[in-house]
């Protein structure tokens, strides 16, 4: 297996972890969004920075201002804009607009040195977007209300922020993935004043909710960002972008298995569309052309 293929597979594990986000969030109770952000990123940031200190690598956090601006802007900026969109617009419509980010990653990847955007990348991403739309809306029609334009703009901003973070991370490929530890900790610290300003504190109840929050901090809001950074820097970024639409599908299926939903026709349609889109976008990775042999 090539280094590029291995890095792509590592990056794909982020999508699997993000798929558990819905289930873990549901199990964690009704904590406000920024409070959850502060707690989960706080766990991931403290654990990761402690690991760097224990291995004598804490100096890796000494990076130029532009690296910190990209990392903290990507992690905190995305979540802040996403939460804002949910406050200012109906969650279904805001969530769907936010899910433009995988398609944007695929499209913007054509601007990267050494990358070539091919038709099957775009087709795969569009099929994924179609499947995600069906999942988010549950097959029902949307009602776009101009009164919620601020929320829609925030959702577009969140999509652009995460796509831009992922693409620009590729341009900073020499920056060690371990620096994500600092980005997580900074995101947690920035989330605290946002929580105090806009939310009322609600503490978890019972061991299950605390375990779910720790799980969030270690995996979907922790390790996932490290493997994603590795994947977008060294793997096939078009495949990662298109395959990201598997996250809402797998998240829905996990909630169904946990008893928080039912398997319906829209879910089945979305499963086919997203899986097919991911396979089409991954054509170059799945089907390797044999080198021609001169007669």
Structure confidence by residue, pLDDT tens digits, 206-218: 999 999 999 999 9
Domain-embedded: residue 292: no
d(CA 89, CA 85): 6
Domain-embedded: residue 293: no
Residue reference for tokens 């990123």? 41
Angle at 243 between CA 256 and CA 266, to 5 degrees: 40
Which pLDDT belongs to residue 288?
A: 57
- Average the pLDDT over 3-24 and give the result: 95
Which pLDDT belongs to residue 295?
A: 42
Domain-embedded: residue 120: yes
Q: What is the average pLDDT score of the chain?
A: 92
| pLDDT classification of 157: cutoffs 50, 70, 90 | very high
- Out of 110-124, 188-202, 269-283, give the one with best mean pLDDT: 188-202
d(CA 219, CA 65): 27
| Residue 109: pLDDT over 60 | yes
Domain-embedded: residue 294: no
Domain-embedded: residue 295: no
Residue 265: give the domain boundaries: 3-286
Q: What is the dihedral of CA 258, 29, 162, 199, to 10 degrees?
A: 160
Domain-embedded: residue 15: yes
Residue reference for tokens 């797998």? 250
| Residue 260: pLDDT over 90 | no
Domain-embedded: residue 201: yes
Tally of domains in the chain: 1
Domain-embedded: residue 58: yes
d(CA 154, CA 157): 5
Per-residue pLDDT tens digits for 79-98: 999 999 999 988 888 888 99
| Residue 41: pLDDT over 60 | yes
Backbone angles phi, psi at 62, to 5 degrees: -80, 90
Which pLDDT belongs to residue 243?
A: 93
Structure tokens at 139: 């097959």
**29 φ/ψ sector (left φ>0, alpha ψ -120 to 50, else beta):** left
| pLDDT classification of 276: cutoffs 50, 70, 90 | very high
């Amino acid at each position: 297996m090539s280094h590029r293929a291995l890095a792509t597979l590592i990056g794909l594990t982020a999508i699997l972890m993000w798929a558990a986000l819905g289930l873990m969030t549901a199990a964690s109770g009704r904590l406000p969004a920024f409070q959850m952000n502060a707690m989960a990123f706080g766990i991931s940031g403290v654990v990761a920075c402690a690991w760097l200190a224990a291995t004598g690598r804490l100096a890796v956090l000494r990076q130029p201002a532009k690296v910190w601006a990209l990392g903290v802007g990507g992690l905190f900026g995305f979540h802040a804009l996403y939460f804002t969109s949910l406050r200012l617009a109906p969650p279904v419509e805001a969530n769907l607009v936010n899910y433009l980010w995988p398609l944007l990653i695929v499209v913007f990847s054509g601007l990267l040195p050494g990358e070539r955007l091919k038709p099957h990348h775009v087709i795969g991403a569009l099929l994924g977007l179609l499947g995600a739309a069906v999942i988010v809306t549950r097959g029902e029609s949307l009602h776009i209300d101009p009164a919620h334009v601020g929320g829609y703009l925030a959702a577009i901003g969140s999509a652009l922020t995460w796509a831009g973070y992922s693409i620009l991370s590729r341009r900073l490929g020499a920056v060690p993935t371990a620096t994500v530890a600092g980005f997580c900790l900074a995101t947690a610290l920035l989330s605290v004043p946002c929580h105090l300003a806009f939310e009322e504190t609600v503490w978890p109840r019972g061991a299950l909710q605390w375990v779910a929050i720790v799980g969030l901090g270690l995996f979907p809001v922790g390790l996932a960002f490290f493997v994603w950074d590795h994947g977008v820097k060294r793997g096939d970024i078009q495949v990662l972008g298109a395959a990201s639409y598997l996250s809402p599908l797998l998240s829905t299926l996990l909630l169904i298995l946990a008893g928080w939903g039912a398997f319906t026709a829209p879910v089945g349609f979305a499963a086919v569309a997203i899986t097919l889109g991911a396979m089409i976008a991954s054509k170059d990775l799945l089907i390797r052309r044999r080198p021609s042999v001169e007669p």
